[in-house]
């Protein structure tokens, strides 16, 4: 790759990191309405970055948080690459489990700690800065670049599809790039060729119209908390298999080759247990931990609440109980069908005397990439150049709904190039991004533009 | 009864109510440490009441909240009656379900709304004011009276037993009186001859050391919320029978006569459902609603919490989940044995990969009074005089642990004389006390002292 680009990234490393910290200081929590002004500040920060390096840039208003769209299209004859990322972050709570405040970026042991450090501000910023390196040194980019950076990824990307569909022609591209996944392990970079899908919902049970004295009334009315626990418990059998009728009907089974590939990856179960702080791994019978995480569907409660939440005892039959539930999906499972089956199952198994309400959140199907694509080879070479090691092909348990949308709306596949580690605590307290991974990721991104430039242009 | 006492209560009715409101304005929430100063204010209010009418009174310090002890012993040859009550109240939350603030007493439709209006400030205050009526008019009480009014009833009365045992001789009495129960229905006063016991505990499951991304890790570790729901669900079978081994072993079955007596009481199930706001009554198969409430043991979750508690989705596997559980007990069930069995059952049924912690709160056995006692007859006559109707004999589902202690430490039975209604929302939002019941209760209390004076003195 261009020696000037490499030298630029090296000599500007500290400034690039400092600029990332500026972005991380903005508490752009999309789920919480009180952070609306912070969402605008984060969008403006990115807008200004693109404007400063000569991109055409627009902050696009939506029904929710704005989308930052930027393009540089001065590489005629070269392919066009669409980079997607998000500037919103998960709520940081529980706050008391953070070593340093989530929106005061702090470096400890070579790691940058902040909410959004790796998911996704830090990762998307590598692509912004690799573009800057090319433009500041070579005065050009090897490919045409389009950036779509949204502010609603953590709350379901409700306004992204409309944006993509309404600008379908302007967004035409040869391939998409998303850095919102992880390396396989330190020293083992990875390309993620599969993602799980997701459906999310909330179930609430309403019992007595107010909390009741558990002595005076207990035993004579259905307790909504007990009834909710009964429903949640019914979701799995003793072997960890989901009991919703039809849940596994469409699941694409893992091929023998995939199971063998997963089995070859280094995986230290004791270290995994220690990292998570659990005494045992546990899940669906008949599958390994990697298979459970990457290729088997789940049904997890993300939060439950009901009745007295304070200290000490309070002797009531609660009036209401609710649980937030997500199912992770694997290829061929249809999100709407799974959510329908879940709702039906809950209604069928609900005790009398409580009213069930079911609220649907977002959902998206799983995704699997074709591992023979030349785009994948180009990415693999760029990563080897920056990280000094060839990436392994892995799947990921999380969901990136936009990958499905890119295929459906723009007709392109997505390169999932994760620069972080899966121990970076994304969505958890003490989220962080290894500083060296930030710099290597930026270098890999810069190399990627050059590698992709050698591939045929199919649009524009 | 003394016409002067009756006339005094009538002409001072408004002032008595105003003084009760003064007491209700004090947020004496024993469970919440920040209300410690309010506990002292409530105790002082009662202390001053007794001092003003010539009782010997002492505010007794304990390891927790103080006990107000007052005595008037100038009726030689007459029996001695110990009145017990409590000046502490339950936490008022959820606050948004109160029509008017819990500590701003408000009269609507002849009802006085405030936390503690009926449980127990309003009820115990009837006995304070009946004593005042006798002393201000006749210059004497027909019996010797000892008042014990504690501040820790809602948090387990942890320091009451020590007080009672250490002053056993000074507290000697012929019978105890407690007004912390209800009438059977408007127009149907009642004497409660049985109470359920209680054990209370909290179970917590610790899983991963922090909340995890449900996509990256979901399916490979035990989810503490799902695991807790599994435990809670296992507590009952489909017929509502508790599944803890040995739970029913010691349960004293209801006699045919008791079942027949309960069946004779007017009970409008449709009105009960409407009052509680439930679409169906539901409980242990094979028992009526009154039997389920009064004479069958229960296992209810009073509160559950785990994972994300905010708005919208958050895609995590929670680190921890916990539930507060109470079992209501019936005669012959041993609280310690039940709690042991519950703890054992939870441990036996816990999934691998989570650590179970079990915290014990207070407990007390159930109580049944001998319905042939002359004290009961005296109380029945006093109630008929004040309420214009003979009381029915009922049981109650709640617990009054001190009743057991009075039998064990002082060797006396307790008259449970409830002036309120079971629709008074005790422990719930919009707790209230019907103003007429407050006045009738005070009159019945004044009559009770005279009726009890005719019975033989056995102590002092």
Output the domain CATH number for residue B442: 3.40.630.10
Q: Could you say which DSSP state residue A408 is in?
A: I
The CA distance from B136 to the nearest CA of chain A, in Å, is: 37
Find chain A residues with C-beta within 8 A of B225's C-beta.
232, 300-304, 323
Give the β-pairing of A355-364 and A144-150. Answer: unpaired
State which of A331, A349, A364 marks the end of a domain. Answer: A364
pLDDT of residue A63 exceeding 90: yes
Residue B239 lies in a domain: yes
Q: Closest chain B residue to A422 measured between Cα atoms? A: B216
> Are B391 and B435 within one domain?
yes
C-beta atoms surrounding B450 within 10 Å:
20
> Where in the sequence numbering do the catalytic residues of B fall?
88, 153
Return the top range by mean pLDDT from A178-192, A220-234, A363-377: A220-234
Residue B179 lies in a domain: yes
- From A7-21, A361-375, B256-270, the region with the lowest mean pLDDT: A361-375
pLDDT of residue B393 exceeding 70: yes
State which of B329, B364, B399 marks the end of a domain. Answer: B364
Give the Cα separation of A382 and A374 in Å (integer).
Answer: 12
Mean pLDDT value across residues A276-282: 96
> Are B177 and B212 within one domain?
no
User: A233 and B235 in contact by Cβ < 8 A?
Assistant: no
User: A293 and B428 in contact by Cβ < 8 A?
Assistant: no
Among the partner residues A207, A303, A430, nearest to B306 by beta-carbon distance: A303
Q: Which residues contact A56 (CB under 8 A, 6 or more apart)?
A: A70, A71, A72, A73
> Are B53 and B188 within one domain?
yes
Q: Which domain holds residue A420?
A: 3-195+367-453
Residue A113 lies in a domain: yes
Find chain A residues with C-beta within 8 A of B305's C-beta.
304-306, 309
pLDDT of residue B52 exceeding 90: yes
Interface membership of A270 toward B (CB under 8 Å): no
Residue A291 lies in a domain: no
Among the partner residues A182, A284, A313, nearest to B200 by beta-carbon distance: A313
User: What pLDDT digit, counting tens, does each position of A135-178 carry?
Assistant: 999 999 999 999 999 999 999 899 999 999 999 999 999 999 99
Per-residue pLDDT, A326: 96
Residue A446 lies in a domain: yes
Please report which confidence band the pLDDT of residue A361 belongs to, taking 50, 70 and 90 as the band edges.
very high
User: A94 and B211 in contact by Cβ < 8 A?
Assistant: yes
Q: Closest chain A residue to B269 measured between Cα atoms? A: A220
The CA distance from B141 to the nearest CA of chain A, in Å, is: 34
CA B406 from chain centre, in angstroms, equals 15
> Are B81 and B164 within one domain?
yes
Give the β-pairing of B190-195 and B414-417. Answer: antiparallel
Find chain A residues with C-beta within 8 A of B324's C-beta.
307-308, 313-314
Residue A280 lies in a domain: no
Output the domain CATH number for residue A327: 3.30.70.360
Per-residue pLDDT, B363: 86
Q: Closest chain B residue to A211 measured between Cα atoms? A: B428
User: What pLDDT digit, counting tens, does each position of A394-442 carry?
Assistant: 998 988 878 989 988 999 989 999 999 988 998 899 999 999 999 999 9
Please report which confidence band the pLDDT of residue B175 belongs to, taking 50, 70 and 90 as the band edges.
very high
Percent of chain B with pLDDT strictly greater than 70: 100
Q: Closest chain A residue to B299 measured between Cα atoms? A: A219
Interface membership of B241 toward A (CB under 8 Å): no
- From A86-100, A313-327, B26-40, B358-372, the region with the lowest mean pLDDT: B358-372
Q: Which residues contact B10 (CB under 8 A, 6 or more apart)?
A: none
> Are A98 and A123 within one domain?
yes
Among the partner residues B215, B328, B428, nearest to A198 by beta-carbon distance: B215
> Are A319 and A421 within one domain?
no
Per-residue pLDDT, B372: 77
pLDDT of residue B370 exceeding 80: no
Please report which confidence band the pLDDT of residue A261 belongs to, taking 50, 70 and 90 as the band edges.
confident
Residue A78 lies in a domain: yes
User: A314 and B91 in contact by Cβ < 8 A?
Assistant: yes
State which of B364, B391, B410 marks the end of a domain. Answer: B364
Please report which confidence band the pLDDT of residue A460 belongs to, taking 50, 70 and 90 as the band edges.
low
> Are B242 and B314 within one domain?
yes
> Are B233 and B112 within one domain?
no
pLDDT of residue B203 exceeding 90: yes
Q: Which of residues 296-355 of B touch A (CB under 8 A)?
A: 296-318, 321, 323-324, 326, 328, 351-355
User: B427 and A212 in contact by Cβ < 8 A?
Assistant: yes
* SS3 state of residue A286: coil
User: B314 and A353 in contact by Cβ < 8 A?
Assistant: no
Give the Cα separation of B161 and B138 in Å (integer).
Answer: 35
Interface test with B, best of A427, A429, A430 (most B CBs within 10 A): A427
Nearest in space to A122 (alpha carbons), one of A35, A4, A18:
A18
Among the partner residues A219, A278, A302, nearest to B328 by beta-carbon distance: A219
> Are B402 and B316 within one domain?
no
Encode chain B in three state secondary structure. Answer: CCHHHHHHHHHCHHHHHHHHHHHHCCCCECCCHHHHHHHHHHHHHHHHHHHHCCCEEEEECCCCCCEEEEEECCCCCCCEEEEEEECCECCCCCHHHCCCCCCCCEEECCEEECCCCCCCHHHHHHHHHHHHHHHHHCCCCCCEEEEEEECCHHHCCCCHHHHHHHCCCCCCCCEEEECCCECCECCECEEEEEECEEEEEEEEEECCCCCEECCCCCCCCCCHHHHHHHHHHHCECCCCCECCCCCCCCCCCCCHHHHHHHHHCCCCHHHHHHHHCCCCCCCCCCCCHHHHHHCCCCCEEEEEEEECCCCCCCCEECCEEEEEEEEEECCCCCHHHHHHHHHHHHHHHCCCCCEEEEEEEEEECCEECCCCCHHHHHHHHHHHHHHCCCCEEEEECCCCHHHHHHHHHHCCCEEEECCECCCCCCCCCCCEEEHHHHHHHHHHHHHHHHHHHCCCCCCC
Interface contacts (A, B; CB < 8 Å): 360
> Are B177 and B120 within one domain?
yes
CA distances from B414 to B173, B376, B401, B405 (A): 11, 9, 11, 10
Catalytic: which of A38, A132, A150, A153?
A153
Give the Cα separation of B231 and B223 in Å (integer).
Answer: 12
Please report which confidence band the pLDDT of residue B458 belongs to, taking 50, 70 and 90 as the band edges.
confident
Interface membership of A277 toward B (CB under 8 Å): yes
Per-residue pLDDT, B460: 62
Residue A313 lies in a domain: yes
C-beta atoms surrounding B352 within 10 Å:
11
User: What pLDDT digit, counting tens, does each position of B146-172 carry?
Assistant: 999 999 999 989 999 999 999 999 999
Tell me phi and psi for residue B41, to 5 degrees.
-65, -40
Q: Closest chain A residue to B31 measured between Cα atoms? A: A312
- From A78-92, A300-314, A362-376, B286-300, the region with the lowest mean pLDDT: A362-376
Find chain B residues with C-beta within 8 A of A299's C-beta.
226
Mean pLDDT of chain A: 95
The CA distance from B17 to the nearest CA of chain A, in Å, is: 25
Number of domains in chain A: 2
> Are B372 and B427 within one domain?
yes
* SS3 state of residue A130: helix
Per-residue pLDDT, B29: 97
> Are A175 and A149 within one domain?
yes
Check if A153 is active-site: yes
Q: Which of residues 149-168 of B touch A (CB under 8 A)?
A: 155-156
């Amino acid at each position: 790759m261009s020696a000037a680009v490499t030298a630029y990234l090296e000599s500007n490393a500290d400034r690039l990191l400092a600029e990332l910290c500026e972005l991380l200081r903005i508490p752009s929590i999309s789920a919480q309405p009180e952070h609306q002004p912070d969402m605008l500040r984060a969008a403006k920060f990115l807008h200004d970055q693109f404007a400063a390096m000569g991109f055409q840039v627009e902050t696009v208003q939506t029904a929710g948080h704005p989308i930052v769209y930027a393009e540089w299209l001065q590489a005629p004859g070269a392919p066009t690459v669409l980079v997607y990322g998000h500037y919103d972050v998960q709520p940081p709570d529980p706050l008391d489990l953070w070593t340093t405040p989530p929106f005061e970026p702090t470096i400890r042991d070579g790691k940058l700690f902040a909410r959004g450090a790796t998911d996704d501000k830090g990762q998307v910023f590598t692509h912004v800065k690799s573009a800057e390196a090319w433009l500041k040194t070579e005065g050009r980019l090897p490919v045409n670049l389009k950036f779509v950076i949204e502010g609603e990824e953590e709350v379901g990307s409700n306004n992204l599809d409309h944006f993509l569909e309404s600008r379908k022609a302007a967004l035409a591209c040869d391939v998409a790039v998303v850095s919102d996944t992880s390396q396989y392990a330190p020293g083992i970079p990875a390309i993620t060729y599969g993602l799980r899908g997701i459906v999310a919902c909330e179930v609430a049970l309403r019992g007595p119209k107010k909390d009741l004295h558990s002595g005076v009334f207990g035993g004579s009315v259905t307790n909504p908390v007990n009834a909710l626990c009964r429903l949640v418990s019914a979701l799995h059998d003793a072997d960890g298999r989901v009991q919703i009728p039809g849940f596994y009907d469409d699941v694409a089974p893992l091929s023998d080759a995939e199971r063998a590939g997963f089995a070859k990856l280094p995986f230290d179960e004791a270290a995994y247990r220690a990292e998570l702080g659990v005494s045992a791994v546990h899940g669906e019978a008949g599958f390994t931990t990697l298979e459970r995480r990457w290729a088997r569907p789940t049904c997890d409660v993300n939060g439950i609440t009901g009745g007295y939440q304070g200290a000490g005892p309070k002797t009531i039959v609660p009036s209401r109980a609710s649980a937030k539930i997500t199912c992770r999906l694997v290829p061929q499972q249809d999100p709407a069908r799974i959510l329908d089956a879940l709702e039906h199952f809950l209604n069928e198994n609900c005790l009398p005397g409580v009213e069930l309400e079911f609220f649907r959140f977002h959902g998206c199907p799983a995704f699997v990439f074709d591992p023979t694509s030349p785009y994948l080879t180009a990415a693999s070479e760029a990563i080897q150049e920056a990280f000094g090691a060839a990436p392994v092909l892995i799947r990921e348990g999380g969901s990136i709904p936009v990958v499905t949308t890119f295929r459906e709306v723009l007709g392109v596949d997505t390169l999932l190039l994760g620069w972080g580690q899966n121990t970076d605590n994304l969505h958890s307290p003490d989220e962080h991004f290894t500083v060296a991974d930030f710099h290597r990721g930026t270098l890999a991104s810069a190399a990627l533009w050059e590698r992709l430039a050698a591939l045929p242009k199919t649009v524009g």
